[in-house]
Amino acid sequence: MKSGLLAAGFDFGGAAADEFNDWYDTEHIPERRRIRGFITARRWIGAEDPKISIALYDLDGVEVLQSPAYRAIAGANLSPWSKRLIGQCRRLLRFEGEQTLPQGQIPDVDSAAMLLFGMNVVPAAEQEFNAWYDEEHVPRLSAVPGCLGARRFRSTGTSPKYLALYHLSAPEVVSTKIWEQAAVTPWTLKLRPHTSDRLRIVLRRYQPPAR
């Protein structure tokens, strides 16, 4: 079984921030942590827009999302509180996928920031796209000071088809000249026109308020 990921993102500008965070902290994430097969459950907040929320759940495998335990709390079985708050938000992302690079690695739990990058690619360029990502792009960015690790995922049915997560010491890492030089190469520029639906979000680790 391949390691899996569930990623869920919202712009919660239409909801009360205190209630949204309370819902996530006291109901939504605890529900999922109790399900067998959910390994981690962590939240991230937009580094530039604090109304952006991304929740990442590492899974034993995407099959966990088809289990009776998960189905009992998801979809039509969401709680009334979940349904009301989600209705006040704009969904940015719902990604379910398998880890392709590296195998079996759980992210650094101490990283203070993250870059989330999702995209689709035209089928004719997909083989070269994956070679570029695995052989050049991830190794170059992983070598930038402040990048603590990187993982790639392929969707099992949702869009975008590919998602990459870069764990960082600080959000500013991705704004440096050395990051830009590592990211933009002739191979990058060759493949960029073949990609679409790019989603790039720089995040800070969410810190729950003191209670």
Asked if 203 contacts 50 with a C-beta cutoff of 8 angstroms, the reply is no
CA distance 165 to 116: 5
Asked if 147 contacts 97 with a C-beta cutoff of 8 angstroms, the reply is no
Q: List the Cα angle 125/176/45 in 5-degree steps.
A: 80
User: So where are the chain's domains?
Assistant: 4-205
Position 211 scores a pLDDT of: 65
Nearby residues of 47 by Cβ (< 8 Å), 6 or more positions away: 113, 171, 202, 203, 204
> Structure pTM?
0.95
Which residue in 198, 203, 201, 175 sits closest to 188, CA to CA? 198
> How many angstroms from the chain centroid is the CA of residue 170?
17
CA distance 191 to 105: 27
CA distance 60 to 99: 11
Nearby residues of 10 by Cβ (< 8 Å), 6 or more positions away: 52, 53, 86, 89, 90, 91, 92
Q: Which fold has domain 4-205?
A: Alpha-Beta Plaits (3.30.70)
Strands (E), 50-176: 52-59, 90-101, 113-121, 147-155, 162-168
CA distance 52 to 176: 23
> Residue 164's beta-bridge partner residues?
117, 152
Q: Provide the residue-wise pLDDT of the chain in tens; the chain has 211 residues.
A: 689 999 999 999 999 999 999 999 999 999 999 999 999 999 999 999 999 999 999 999 999 999 999 999 999 999 999 999 999 999 999 999 999 999 766 665 679 999 999 999 999 999 999 999 999 999 999 999 999 999 999 999 989 999 999 999 999 999 999 999 999 999 999 999 999 999 999 999 999 887 6
Q: Where are the alpha helices (DSSP H) in the chain?
A: 17-23, 29-33, 68-71, 80-86, 126-132, 138-142, 177-183, 186-191
Position 104 scores a pLDDT of: 66
Asked if 170 contacts 112 with a C-beta cutoff of 8 angstroms, the reply is yes
Asked if 65 contacts 94 with a C-beta cutoff of 8 angstroms, the reply is no
Position 107 scores a pLDDT of: 62
Type of residue found at 12? F
Asked if 90 contacts 15 with a C-beta cutoff of 8 angstroms, the reply is no
